[in-house]
C-alpha cells in the first residue's frame, strides 16, 4: 500500500483505538471515489473500473462512525468547496434570469404594440437586436462528490449531473439496503446498483417527470458504510446473496474488543497530507469525454511482469473457487475477486502517482508487479474476513434454529476429535466436512456443528477469523 495511505490508516487506527482494517477499507473507498470515471484497468477485452464497495462491520459503539468521519473528510471538504461555488453561480444566475425576464417582458410588450400599428409605406420592419433578444441563462448544478441518501431515480439524476461519479457514504448501510424497491414495486433497485458496480449504462423511465428517460452511459458509484454483524446476517440471507449484492462488498470484520480512551489525537499534519492526496487525485485527473459528450476513461494496463503475476493470482482464485470445500458465499465472492485484484491495483497505482513529486498522472505508466502483489495480499485478506462472516452467520443461524446434534452424528464427530487429538492436531470445519461427507453437505453445516459443540462445552474454539479451529475438552465423559 502507498506509504501515505498506510501511514494515515495506522494513525487513524491508533488515535481511535480500532482495528486497522476499518480505516484501510474506508481509505480505499475514498480513493476510488476521487478517481471516478477517469480511469479503467485491464486490457481492451477486459476492463475494470476502480469502483469499490466497502463495509465496516461492528457492534454499536465500535467506532465505525468516527472512522468514517476521519477518512471521508476530504470528500466532504471538496463538496463544501463545490457548494460554495454553486451558491455564487446561483446568485449570478438569478441576477441574469431576472434581467432576462424583464427584457422578455419588454420585448413582448413592444411586439404587441407594433402589431397594432401598421407600417407606413416608407418604413421597414425592424429586426430585433441581440440586446433585445438575450439568451435565457442556464441554471447551474451542484457538483457533488458524495451522497448519503437517494432513491434510484434521484441517484440517476445526480449521476447525470456528475458524470465523474459519486460515493455513497452511509453511517448505517442497513437503512440503504432496506429501502430497496420502496418506491418501485417492480423490484429493479438492486439491479440498477449492480450495474453501477461495473460502471455500466443505467436507464430510468419516469412517467410523471421530465425528461421521461434518464440515461447515464457510465454510472459510477462507490459505496462505503457501517453495519452491525447481526443485521448483516439477516440482510444477506436469501435474495441479497442470490442476486450478487453480497459478493460485491469487501468487509472489515474485526473481533469485538473494548474501546480504549486514547490521549493521542489524529495529527493535523497527517490529516492534511491525506486531504492533499485526495484533492490532488480529484482535480489532477481530468475527466475526458468523447464526441458524444460521454466520459471516456483512460485505460491503465499492467506491465509484463504484473500480467504474469496476475495469471498466477487468477489460477489461485479459480482453484479456491472450484474447491468442493468452498461454501456458496465463498464461491460468489471469489468470482468477484478476480476483478477486485485489478481494481485495487489501479487504486494503489493512482495513489502512488499522486504522492510522488512531480505529481504527473501519466496514463501510459503501467501498473507494476509490486503494486499488483500488494493488491493480491489485500484481496486475500478480505477473503479471510468473508470466512469470518460466514462462520459468524453460521453461529447465528444455529442459535436461531437451535439444532442439536443427533446421537449418531455426535458419536462420529467425537471419535474424529479424539483421533486428531492423538496426533496433536485440532479440528476445523473444512476438515470435518471433508472426512464426513455423509454427515455434512457443506462446510457451513460442519461449522454449525462445531459451534453447537462449543456452546455446550464439548470443545473449545482456538484461533480466529478464517483459521478458527477446535480442540476436544478432555473433561468430557466418553
Residue 417 has what pLDDT?
Answer: 92
Instruction: Please report the pLDDT score of residue 100 as a whole number.
Output: 87
Q: How confident is the model at residue 12 (pLDDT cuts 50, 70, 90)?
A: very high
Does the pLDDT of residue 198 top 50, yes or no? yes
Residue 179's pLDDT band, with cuts at 50, 70 and 90, is: confident
pLDDT value of position 131: 45
Higher pLDDT, residue 302 or 391: 302
List pLDDT tens digits, range 264-283: 788 899 999 999 999 999 99
Quick one: cell of 462? 482456538
The lowest-confidence range among 144-153, 301-310, 416-425, 427-436 is: 144-153
CA atoms of 36 and 296, how far apart (whole Å) = 11
Residue 476 in grid coordinates: 468430557
Q: Which pLDDT value is given to residue 154?
A: 86
From CA 394, how far away is CA 456, in angstroms rounded?
16
Query: Residue 366's CB: how many other CB atoms inside 10 A?
Result: 16
Bridge-based pairing of strands 250-252 and 53-57 is parallel
Q: What is the spatial distance between Cα 288 and Cα 414, in angstroms, rounded to a whole number?
A: 64
pLDDT in the model for residue 477: 43
Reply yes or no on whether the pLDDT at 433 is more than 60: yes
User: Considering only CA atoms, which of 372, 208, 249, 358 is closest in space to residue 301?
Assistant: 372
Between 350 and 137, the more confident residue is 350
Res 101: pLDDT: 86
| DSSP bridge partners of 169 | 224
- CA nearest 61: which of 262, 246, 257, 354? 257
Q: Tell me the β-bridge partners of 293.
A: none
Concatenated DSSP letters of 209-242: SSSSEEEETT--EEEEEEE-HHHHHHHTSTHHHH
Task: Please tell me the predicted confidence (pLDDT) of residue 290.
Answer: 84
Instruction: Please tell me the distance from the alpha carbon of residue 431 to that of residue 325, in angstroms, as a whole number.
Output: 9
Q: Does 50 sit behind a cis peptide bond, omega within 30 degrees of 0 on the bond before it?
A: no
Distances (CA, A) of 430 to 75, 181, 396, 467: 43, 38, 19, 10
Give the mean model confidence (pLDDT) for residues 100-106: 84
- Distance between CA atoms of residues 390 and 367, nearest Å: 33
Please provide the average confidence, as pLDDT, over all residues in the chain. Answer: 86
Using the predicted structure, report yes or no on whether residue 30 has a pLDDT greater than 90. Answer: yes
pLDDT at 119: 52
Other CB atoms within a 10 A radius of the CB of residue 43 amount to 12
| Cell numbers representing residue 455 in the block | 456452546
3-state secondary structure of 215: strand
**What number is the average pLDDT over the span 174-188?**
70
> Which has the closest alpha carbon to 165: 36, 349, 353, 301?
36
Beta-carbon count within 10 A of 383 CB: 17
CA-wise closest residue to 409 among 354, 452, 364 = 452
Three cell numbers, residue 34: 476521487
Percentage of the chain modeled with pLDDT above 90: 48
pLDDT tens digits for 58-83? 988 888 999 999 999 999 999 999 99
Torsion angle, alpha carbons of 319, 321, 324, 326, to 10: 130
Provide the sign of the torsion angle of the four alpha carbons 402, 406, 412, 415, taken in this order: positive
Q: Is the pTM above the cut of 0.75?
A: yes
Contacts of 245 (CB under 8 A, 6+ apart): 177, 190, 193, 194, 236
Find, among 256, 248, 247, 197, the residue nearest to 64 by Cα: 256
Least confident of 113-117, 220-224, 253-257, 325-329: 113-117
Q: Classify residue 205 by burial, with Cβ atoms within 10 Å: 0-12, 13-18, 19+.
A: exposed
Amino acid at each position: 500500500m502507498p506509504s501515505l495511505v498506510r501511514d494515515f490508516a495506522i494513525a487513524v487506527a491508533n488515535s481511535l483505538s480500532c482495528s486497522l482494517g476499518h480505516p484501510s477499507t474506508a481509505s480505499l473507498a475514498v480513493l476510488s471515489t476521487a478517481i471516478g470515471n477517469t480511469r479503467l484497468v485491464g486490457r481492451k477485452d477486459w476492463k475494470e473500473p476502480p469502483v469499490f464497495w466497502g463495509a465496516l462491520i461492528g457492534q454499536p459503539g465500535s467506532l465505525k462512525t468516527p472512522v468514517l468521519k476521519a477518512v471521508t473528510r476530504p470528500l466532504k471538504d471538496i463538496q463544501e468547496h463545490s457548494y460554495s461555488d454553486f451558491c455564487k453561480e446561483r446568485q449570478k444566475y438569478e441576477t441574469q434570469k431576472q434581467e432576462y425576464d424583464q427584457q422578455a417582458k419588454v420585448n413582448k410588450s413592444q411586439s404587441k404594440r407594433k402589431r397594432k400599428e401598421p407600417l407606413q409605406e416608407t418604413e421597414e420592419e425592424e429586426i430585433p437586436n441581440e440586446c433585445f433578444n438575450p439568451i435565457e441563462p442556464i441554471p447551474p448544478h451542484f457538483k457533488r462528490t458524495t451522497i448519503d441518501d437517494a432513491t434510484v431515480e434521484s441517484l440517476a439524476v445526480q449521476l447525470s449531473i456528475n458524470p465523474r461519479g459519486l460515493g455513497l457514504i452511509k453511517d448505517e448501510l442497513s437503512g440503504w439496503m432496506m429501502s430497496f424497491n420502496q418506491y418501485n414495486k417492480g423490484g429493479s433497485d438492486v439491479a440498477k446498483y449492480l450495474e453501477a458496480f461495473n460502471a455500466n449504462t443505467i436507464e430510468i423511465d419516469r412517467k410523471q417527470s421530465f425528461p421521461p428517460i434518464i440515461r447515464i452511459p457510465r454510472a459510477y458509484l462507490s459505496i462505503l458504510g457501517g453495519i452491525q454483524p447481526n443485521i448483516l446476517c439477516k440482510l444477506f440471507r436469501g435474495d441479497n446473496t442470490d442476486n450478487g449484492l453480497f459478493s460485491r462488498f469487501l468487509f472489515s470484520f474485526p473481533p469485538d474488543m473494548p474501546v480504549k480512551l486514547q490521549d493521542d489525537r489524529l495529527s493535523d499534519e497527517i490529516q492534511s497530507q491525506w486531504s492533499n492526496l485526495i484533492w490532488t487525485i480529484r482535480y489532477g485527473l481530468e475527466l475526458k469525454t468523447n464526441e458524444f459528450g460521454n466520459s471516456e476513461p483512460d485505460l491503465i494496463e499492467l506491465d509484463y511482469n504484473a500480467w504474469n503475476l496476475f495469471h498466477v493470482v487468477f489460477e489461485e482464485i479459480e482453484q479456491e473457487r472450484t474447491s468442493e470445500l468452498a461454501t456458496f458465499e465463498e464461491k460468489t465472492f471469489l468470482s468477484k475477486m478476480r476483478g477486485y485484484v485489478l481494481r485495487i491495483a489501479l487504486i494503489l497505482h493512482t495513489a502512488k502517482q499522486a504522492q510522488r513529486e512531480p505529481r504527473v498522472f501519466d496514463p501510459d505508466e503501467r501498473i507494476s508487479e509490486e503494486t499488483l502483489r500488494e493488491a493480491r495480499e489485500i484481496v486475500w485478506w478480505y477473503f479471510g474476513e468473508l470466512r469470518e462472516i460466514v462462520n459468524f452467520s453460521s453461529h447465528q443461524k444455529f442459535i436461531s434454529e437451535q439444532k442439536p446434534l443427533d446421537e449418531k452424528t455426535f458419536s462420529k464427530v467425537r471419535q474424529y476429535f479424539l483421533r486428531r487429538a492423538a496426533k496433536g492436531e485440532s479440528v476445523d470445519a473444512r476438515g470435518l466436512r471433508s472426512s464426513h461427507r455423509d454427515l455434512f453437505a457443506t462446510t457451513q453445516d460442519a461449522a454449525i456443528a462445531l459451534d453447537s459443540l462449543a456452546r455446550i462445552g464439548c470443545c473449545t474454539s482456538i484461533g480466529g477469523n478464517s483459521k478458527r479451529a477446535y480442540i476436544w475438552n478432555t473433561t468430557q465423559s466418553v
